[in-house]
Amino acid sequence: MVLLPQALVDGIMLGATYIIIAIAFSMVYGVMHVIDFAVGEWIMLGSFTGFYLTLWIKIDPLYLLPLVFIIFSTLGYFLQPVVQRVLSGHRGNPLLMALVFTFGLSMMIRGLAQTIFGFYSHSIPSYFSTRSFFIKEGSFFITISAVRLTGLIYAVVITGALNYLLKFTDFGLGVRALAMNKDAAALMGVNNRSTNKFLFGIYTGISAMTGVLIGTILSISANMGGDYTIFAFFVVVLAGMGYLAGVPAAAFVLGLIQSMFLVYLDPGFTLVAVFGLLYLILVISPTGLFRKGWG
Amino acid sequence: MNRTLRIAALAALASSFFAGAQESRDYFKVGVDLELSGDLGTDGNFAKRGYEMWANAVNEAGGILIGKKKYKVQLAYADNQSVPAQGASAAERLITQEHVDFMFGPYSSGVTIATSPVVEKYKVPMIGGPESPNVWLRKPQYTFGTIPPVNFTGAGTVDTLMALSPKPQSAVVVGLNDPFSKSVATSFKDAFEKRGVKVLKFDIVPPGQDLTPLLSVMKGMEPDIVAYGGHDEDLIKFVKSMHQINFSPKGLIMHYGITGPAFFEALKADANQIFGAAVWTETTKTSSKILWPNSEAFAKAGMKAYGVPVDYDIAGCAAGGIAFQVALQRINAAPPLDEAKREQLMKALEAVDVDTFYGHIKFATEGEFFHSNTAMKILTLQIQNGQAKVVGPPSDMEAKPQYPMVPWDKR
């Protein structure tokens, strides 16, 4: 029982990391119906950009997040038409084509990254990554890492900003209309092409910023993307494919299961438990925890 | 029938043509089956540097002297992507399509375990850098290793810690679930228990996850020592997570791996005072008549070639090349090597007993370390002011161990 508060806090912090990995990924799937296998590679590229910018500009990487967002959202904005072309061509199964395309893209980015960045692992130094808060009350104690707390705040801000963007702006109205019915939305004057470009840009920008945060919390390498792609998939499937509002809850469920297993049960079976749950969800409720995802 | 005969004749002609092409080769073709990408890409690329340094040094010296003629060496690479099955198929391709004479093997123990049956099937000797004892338990006839297994070296590090004051009373041990890391963790646990140190927690965990919650539990146990078995990226994550929750035991051991340039570059001051093990550093006192006269000369050559310090992995891999060189000269084998010659080469490797810049090489020919090089001295290292210093055994000590370590928040 003494460890429970710490286990809960650690689970929430882990959940926050999963939110920022998965939320933009879920949004892009919900609207564009693109399962982007390269999500982990955007995170990796963002982390290396943060790493080198920190080395050159010599300011804390967390202050560089807006700059990283601008760089990668611009890249995503101009890359989206290529993805769109794969999706909208006269091909047998555009969704499958997009899947194969992004898988190929991820392999290409990873290979290029290994050539350009080399095979060393790095870490992004930050003032926040060496600070922590310690709270003790009787026999209970909690240690909260400053950089992980920053990650939680970032997750809340990003979730809030996306929520505002989608629910309270004309752009968001267009996005939601496109997610419901592309043809009807187009007839109502929603510009499919430009909306998708902006959306993909927001997604790559958020993923890259997430990479910077992960680099300050953990470590970075050209091979790191694969693990994060798996976790993004997990959260999105648990939340319900394309159901954005389910992402925070699914991410916290994942974080808390992982934390509880590591603390109270056998740490060797953490991932077995996590993926066992995913399997159960897929069997019992293929549309996610809230039964609101794409079937 | 006629058609079948014609096809058979053509096949025989083709095979004799290729065999003829092989016979005319006047250089050794050496297969290199390595983790050039994937999860263990960092360590695989280190190993590649060792093999490259050996091949370049041999070729600069004119080649390997067999009889009265010198034969150069040429490396043929295959990337096993850190995947055991890929390692096995890469070895098969190198042997059957590239017709290599002998091979340099993978860095990873898991990939080596998958690859050794293939080299055994084709009778192609292979020297690699695996460090898990599991590689040697099934006594692979054609697989050799220059770096001693971790259960051979782990106890040496624990012995150094046991001589410190205050003497460690308790420890927690974590290892990742792969053959190397698991063996590291198990060897630490066994060594602690044999020396009366209470192991409060022992966990083998899947790679790729954030271990902060587990570290929080361990922090509550207040162990004297934390011992961890993992690879470079995981070592960095582990130390950062410890610092983030301000978990400062008296000592932190990470075995092999702390000497890689990435470790200190990524962790900076946090890397200081972490203990590790090695069988070679650039200051190890050695003397050799083959290629490099001593450790210092090899370290200088490595720095010149790659611009970063070389570690035991690179040295061990280059020394593997010297073992082949000595064995080839012993059996007077000119390229290309047929199956009978390769079998002789394997037996000659078993008889290698040579001093190199890396240290003494002599492969065990029986027991649990079968075909692993157990002639090395085990060194305990500690990072001090950004440099790996030998802190044990006393006969090789370069600096006094710093213990207990300074807590993270006081650095």
The number of residues making up chain A comes to 295
Its pTM stands at 0.80
Q: Among partner residues A10, A120, A147, which is closest to B213 by beta-carbon distance? A: A10
Tell me what the mean pLDDT of segment B345-372 comes to. 93
User: Does position B405 have pLDDT exceeding 70, yes or no?
Assistant: yes
- Quote ipTM for the complex: 0.80
User: Does position B1 have pLDDT exceeding 70, yes or no?
Assistant: no
Q: Among partner residues A3, A148, A271, which is closest to B244 by beta-carbon distance? A: A148
User: Does position B9 have pLDDT exceeding 70, yes or no?
Assistant: no
Report yes or no on A190 lying in a domain: yes
The residue type found at B376 is M
User: Does B311 touch chain A if contact means CB atoms closer than 8 Å?
Assistant: no
Q: Report the pLDDT value the prediction gives residue A91, as an integer from 0 to 100.
A: 66
The mean predicted confidence, pLDDT, of chain B is 88
Report yes or no on A104 lying in a domain: yes
Report yes or no on A198 lying in a domain: yes
User: Does B221 touch chain A if contact means CB atoms closer than 8 Å?
Assistant: no
Closest CA to A151 of A242, A18, A33, A253: A18
Report yes or no on A289 lying in a domain: no
Q: Do A114 and B41 touch (CB under 8 A)?
A: yes
User: Does A88 touch chain B if contact means CB atoms closer than 8 Å?
Assistant: no
User: Does A129 touch chain B if contact means CB atoms closer than 8 Å?
Assistant: yes
User: Does position A150 have pLDDT exceeding 70, yes or no?
Assistant: yes
Tell me what the mean pLDDT of segment B323-339 comes to. 94
Q: Write out chain A residues lying below 8 Å of B265, CB-based.
A: 120, 122
Check if CATH label 3.40.50.2300 holds for domain B151-278+378-410: yes
Q: Report the pLDDT value the prediction gives residue B213, as an integer from 0 to 100.
A: 87
Domain that includes residue A155, residue range: 4-284
Q: Do B220 and A141 touch (CB under 8 A)?
A: yes
Q: Write out chain A residues lying below 8 Å of B203, CB-based.
A: 266-268
Q: Sheet with B225-229: list strands edge to edge.
A: B198-205, B170-176, B225-229, B251-253, B275-278, B379-384, B387-392
Report yes or no on A291 lying in a domain: no
Q: What are the helix (H) ranges across B104-231?
A: 109-122, 134-137, 150-162, 179-194, 212-221
Q: Write out chain B residues lying below 8 Å of A229, CB-based.
A: none
Residues B304 and B357: their CA atoms lie apart, in Å, by 17
Confidence of residue A89 (pLDDT cuts 50, 70, 90): low
Tokens of A141: 């104690």
Q: Report the pLDDT value the prediction gives residue B18, as an integer from 0 to 100.
A: 47
Share of chain A above pLDDT 90, in %: 31
User: Does A2 touch chain B if contact means CB atoms closer than 8 Å?
Assistant: yes
Residues A107 and B71: their CA atoms lie apart, in Å, by 39
Q: Do B213 and A222 touch (CB under 8 A)?
A: no
Tokens of A177: 């209309």
Q: Check residues B5 and B191 and name the one with the higher pLDDT.
A: B191
Q: Write out chain A residues lying below 8 Å of B306, CB-based.
A: none
Tokens of B175: 């290892």
The mean predicted confidence, pLDDT, of chain A is 87
Contact B150, B129 (CB under 8 A): no
Q: Check residues A206 and B151 and name the one with the higher pLDDT.
A: A206
Q: Report the pLDDT value the prediction gives residue B23, as an integer from 0 to 100.
A: 57
Tokens of B325: 């060189």
Tell me what the mean pLDDT of segment B381-409 comes to. 90
Q: Write out chain B residues lying below 8 Å of A224, CB-based.
A: 233
Report yes or no on A292 lying in a domain: no
Q: Report the pLDDT value the prediction gives residue B12, as an integer from 0 to 100.
A: 53
Contact B358, B145 (CB under 8 A): no
Report yes or no on A21 lying in a domain: yes
Confidence of residue B312 (pLDDT cuts 50, 70, 90): confident
Residues B126 and B117: their CA atoms lie apart, in Å, by 11
Q: Write out chain B residues lying below 8 Å of A141, CB-based.
A: 220
Q: Which residue is closest to B212 within chain A, CA to CA?
A: A10
Q: Write out chain B residues lying below 8 Å of A132, CB-based.
A: 244-246
Confidence of residue B10 (pLDDT cuts 50, 70, 90): low
Closest CA to B45 of A106, A51, A115, A227: A115
Q: Do A219 and B265 touch (CB under 8 A)?
A: no
Question: Total domain count for chain A?
Answer: 1
User: Does A7 touch chain B if contact means CB atoms closer than 8 Å?
Assistant: yes
User: Does B410 touch chain A if contact means CB atoms closer than 8 Å?
Assistant: no
Q: Write out chain A residues lying below 8 Å of B209, CB-based.
A: 258, 270-271
Residue corresponding to tokens 């060594």: B191
pLDDT digits (tens, 9 = 90+) for A233-285: 889 888 888 788 889 999 999 899 888 888 888 788 888 888 888 888 888 88
B25-148+283-361 CATH pick, 3.30.230.10, 3.40.50.300, 3.40.50.450, 3.40.50.2300: 3.40.50.2300
The torsion of the CA quartet A229, A234, A239, A240, rounded to 10 degrees, works out to 90
User: Does A120 touch chain B if contact means CB atoms closer than 8 Å?
Assistant: yes
User: Does A163 touch chain B if contact means CB atoms closer than 8 Å?
Assistant: no
Q: Which residue ranges does chain B devote to CATH 3.40.50.2300?
A: 25-148+283-361, 151-278+378-410
Contact A214, A127 (CB under 8 A): no
Tell me what the mean pLDDT of segment B242-265 comes to. 85
User: Does A111 touch chain B if contact means CB atoms closer than 8 Å?
Assistant: yes
Residues B74 and B52: their CA atoms lie apart, in Å, by 10
pLDDT digits (tens, 9 = 90+) for B132-174: 778 888 899 999 999 888 777 778 889 899 999 899 999 999 9
Confidence of residue A294 (pLDDT cuts 50, 70, 90): low
Q: Report the pLDDT value the prediction gives residue A12, as an integer from 0 to 100.
A: 92
At residue B142, what are phi and psi to the nearest 5 degrees? -110, 5
Closest CA to A231 of A39, A72, A99: A39
Triad B18, B22, B24: Cα angle to 5° = 120
Triad A133, A136, A138: Cα angle to 5° = 175
CA within 13 Å, CB half, A34: 29
Tell me what the mean pLDDT of segment A1-19 comes to. 87
Closest CA to B164 of B410, B394, B411, B330: B394
Q: Report the pLDDT value the prediction gives residue B8, as an integer from 0 to 100.
A: 59
CA distances from B210 to A274, B213, B386 (A): 13, 8, 26
Residue corresponding to tokens 């999860």: B39
User: Does position A17 have pLDDT exceeding 50, yes or no?
Assistant: yes
User: Does position A90 have pLDDT exceeding 80, yes or no?
Assistant: no
Residues A172 and B40: their CA atoms lie apart, in Å, by 43
Report yes or no on A164 lying in a domain: yes
Q: Report the pLDDT value the prediction gives residue A295, as an integer from 0 to 100.
A: 56
Q: Is B220 left (phi over 0), alpha (psi -120 to 50) or beta?
A: alpha
Confidence of residue B239 (pLDDT cuts 50, 70, 90): very high
Triad B35, B37, B43: Cα angle to 5° = 50
User: Does position B194 have pLDDT exceeding 90, yes or no?
Assistant: yes
Q: Report the pLDDT value the prediction gives residue B21, as an integer from 0 to 100.
A: 47
Confidence of residue A154 (pLDDT cuts 50, 70, 90): very high
User: Does position B90 have pLDDT exceeding 80, yes or no?
Assistant: yes
